Amino acid sequence: MFRQAKRRTAGRRNFETSKAASIYQSTPASTKLYSSRLSFYDLPPLEEITLEQFETWAIDRLKVLIEIESCVARGKSLKDTEVVVKPLLLKYLPLTANNGSNVDTSLERKKDHYSHYILRLVFCRTDELRKKFIKNETILFKIRYGLLSPKEQQEFIESYSDKLPWQYIGNEEKLQLFEQLYTATGATIRNTLIVENSADPNFSISNEQLKQHIKTRENFIKLPFEKVPSLVSQRQVYLKAGFAYIPSTLQLSLLSIEFQDLLSRNLLRTFQTLPRLEEDDRILPLLTNLSTNFSNIQYDSASFGTDPSLISDINSQSIITPTINKHYPLCGSHLQKNLILNSHLKYQGRQQLGLFLKGIGLNIDEALKFWSFQFTKGSNTMTMEKFNKEYKYNIRHQYGLEGARTNYKPWDCATILLKPKPSKGEYHGCPYRDLSLDNLVHNLNEMGINNNQDINGIIEDVGKNDYTIACTKVFELTHKQQLEKSSNQAENLHINHPNLYFDRSRQLEKAELKSKGSQPVN
Ligand code: SF4
């Protein structure tokens, strides 16, 4: 896949002797590159990494950013987004604290650093991509800042004293000014705590508990008041001798504004230097691939089938029962419903449904039974001979048993959306894009979604061409109770593949039945 033989190092050699490199090497900031778990990514990476690392590190970061993007589009709060994203961070971009564990923290931090810079190359190209990247990276930054201990937060701020001339007040000063600080900032801190604990309906905090929280958890900084005019005008901070005293709760928004501004400036600079990359024929295809295919990297259909209990009951009979059908995404049920109704599906529909069924675990023998039965049943029957002559090859071809013997994978949403739209008498495609509004609402009602607000939210996503987000919302609404009970928060993953929808739905049912100690019913 990559050209390993031809090394293009002239650019790098130039950089090594460049002014930028000498600034990098001489600045004391280089010594602190990986001292903190968090970063403003203000120093570019200089070491070599392999092309494989280049690609896999970028894809891992992209998986996290895609999930953040999906959470924002589904209107999740920062706290809810954090719950969804945390397991992904642990899996793809862990940042372990330096607490004597055996983990190679500098490698983790290097991956985080390099992957951020690689994605800058991907997302710097248009205004829209830059905005998207800044928004998602800022949320990631906020989540990670919240995961630091108060001591680490303070160390992080102090390590950027050149950018953040923040002055932490000592414990003595805090206790001296405690009543004033409590009066000025108590209400804001209380509101933030209530929002953060909104998932707990019984959460409340007394005045005494709030005072205790401020004494033990809030680290105040003081800044010249003219640096924070909006906080001053909203009377959210205590003012004394020209300084505003700002609690930890409000520091994050100041910090994220700083992060955003810096990233915005740096993305433009990256864009301006991008033409130099045109010379490198190893990296450009990777970047193009990352930007065009990013929506289809999250679900690896090849991994399906690792749980044998989820494919053992898939056969030509069971796939037409509600027990299995209820796990289909709308595209799958729309195709199968029309196949059964018309005893026929045109080519694109056969490909989309056939590969989807292959992905859920239907083997070739059962697939041939299913398709031949559906095509030869009913009044305007096709003979078995005609089916064998004209359609059997097509089904065997999907399973890699004919022609080039390619083991075709089920189509992901991006592939489905790239295919030509269905014409009259065709049923392939994504129903969120291709059905009329009335027909879509009718289908949503059939799936048990009747609340007007829910339906309007889905239609709004469809109007913005966010079909996979509409589908993810439908999944969340139709699996609401199971998701609430699920201990695995990674269940909230964005839907970008019909087989991911099916797979997750069955996993949730399996977990629910296991907790009840029963089996699925037909
Ligand atoms: Fe199918 Fe994807 Fe459309 Fe959902 S978004 S209906 S899974 S194509």
- As beta bridge partners, residue 243 has 224, 240
Q: How high is the pLDDT of residue 487?
A: 63
pTM over 0.75: no
- Summarised one tens digit per residue, pLDDT across range 363-417 is 999 999 999 999 998 766 789 999 999 999 999 999 988 888 887 889 999 899 9
| Contact present, 360 and 311 (Cβ < 8 Å) | yes
Query: 299, 353, 413: which to mutate for ligand 1, most atoms within 8 A of CB?
Result: 413
3-state secondary structure of 141: helix
Tokens standing for residue 336: 């199968």
Atom of ligand 1 nearest to the CA of 334: 6
Average pLDDT, the chain: 84
**Average pLDDT over every residue of 490-519:** 81
Phi, psi (deg, nearest 5) at residue 403: 60, -130
Q: Which residues pair with 167 in a beta bridge?
A: 222
Q: What whole-number distance in Å separates Cα of residue 53 and Cα of residue 6?
A: 18
Instruction: Report the distance separating Cα 522 and Cα 505, nearest Å.
Output: 16
Three-state DSSP class for residue 163: coil
**Two structure tokens written together for 221:** 């900084």
| Of 516 and 193, more confident | 193
Residue 58: predicted pLDDT? 92
**Mean pLDDT score, 247-258:** 87
pLDDT greater at residue 2 or residue 415: 415
145-189 pLDDT tens trace? 988 888 888 888 888 888 887 888 988 999 999 999 999 999 989
Report how far residue 336's alpha carbon sits from residue 325's, in angstroms, rounded to the nearest whole number: 9
Minimum CA distance residue for ligand 1 atom 4: 471
Average pLDDT of span 460-471? 92
Q: State the distance from the centre of ligand 1 to the C-alpha of 411, rounded, in angstroms.
A: 10
Residue 510 CB contacts under 8 Å (≥ 6 apart), including other chains: 309, 310
Closest Cα to atom 5 of ligand 1: 468
The finding on whether 501 has its CB within 6 A of some atom of ligand 1 is: yes
Predicted confidence (pLDDT) at residue 307 exceeds the cutoff of 80 = no
Distance CA 288, CA 294 (A): 10
Place of tokens 């399973």: 399
> What are 214-231's pLDDT values in tens digits?
988 888 999 888 888 888
Q: Whose structure tokens read 């595209």?
A: 331
**C-alpha–C-alpha distance, residues 508 and 478, integer Å:** 12
CB atoms near residue 355 (< 10 Å)? 19
Angle, nearest 10°, between helix axes 347-360 and 498-516?
A: 30
Q: What is the pLDDT of residues 406-460, one digit of tens each?
A: 878 899 998 999 999 999 999 999 999 999 999 999 999 999 999 999 999 999 9
Pocket test for ligand 1, best of 298, 501, 504, 505 (most atoms within 8 A of CB): 501
- The residue whose CA is least distant from atom 3 of ligand 1 is 430
The residue among 363, 358, 368 whose CA lies nearest residue 394 is 368
**Cβ–Cβ < 8 Å for 241, 146:** no
Neighbours of 464 (CB within 10 A): 11
329 lines ligand 1 (CB under 6 A): yes
The answer to whether residues 410 and 499 touch, using CB atoms and an 8 Å cutoff, is: yes
> Is 362 in contact with 315 (CB distance < 8 Å)?
yes
pLDDT of residue 84: 86
Which percentage of the chain shows pLDDT scores above 70?
85
- Kindly state if the Cβ of 498 falls inside 6 Å of ligand 1: yes
Cα(81) to ligand 1 centroid in Å equals 22
Place of tokens 């907790």: 515
Ligand 1 binding pocket includes 330 (Cβ within 6 Å): yes
pLDDT band of 5, cuts 50, 70, 90: very low
C-alpha span between 252 and 254 (Å, rounded)? 5
Cβ proximity of 426 and 346 under 8 Å: yes
Q: How many angstroms separate the alpha carbon of residue 335 from the centre of ligand 1?
A: 12
Residue 429 CA, closest ligand 1 atom number: 8
Q: Is the CB of 331 under 6 A from ligand 1?
A: yes
Say if residues 520 and 509 touch (Cβ distance below 8 Å).
Answer: yes
CA of 343 to the centre of ligand 1 (A): 23
> Alpha helix locations (H) across 309-391?
322-325, 330-342, 347-360, 364-376, 384-390
> Distances from the Cα of 179 to the Cαs of 174, 219, 341, 454, 469, in angstroms?
9, 15, 74, 46, 48
Atom 2 of ligand 1 has which residue's CA nearest to it? 413
Residue nearest to atom 7 of ligand 1 (CA): 498
Q: Can you tell me the distance from the alpha carbon of 168 to that of 170, in angstroms, rounded to the nearest whole number?
A: 6
What are the tens digits of pLDDT across the range 15-36? 444 444 544 454 444 445 788 8
3-state class (DSSP) for residue 224:
strand
Position in ligand 1 atom list of the atom nearest CA 501: 7
φ, ψ at 102 (rounded to 5°): -80, 0
Distance CA 178, CA 185 (A): 10
139 contact partners, CB below 8 Å, separation of at least 6: 68, 72, 78, 81
Q: Is 238 left (phi over 0), alpha (psi -120 to 50) or beta?
A: beta
- Cα separation, 502 vs 305, in Å, equals 12
Q: Which string of DSSP letters, residue by residue, matches 12-43?
A: HHHHHTSHHHHHHHHSGGGGGTTTSS-----S
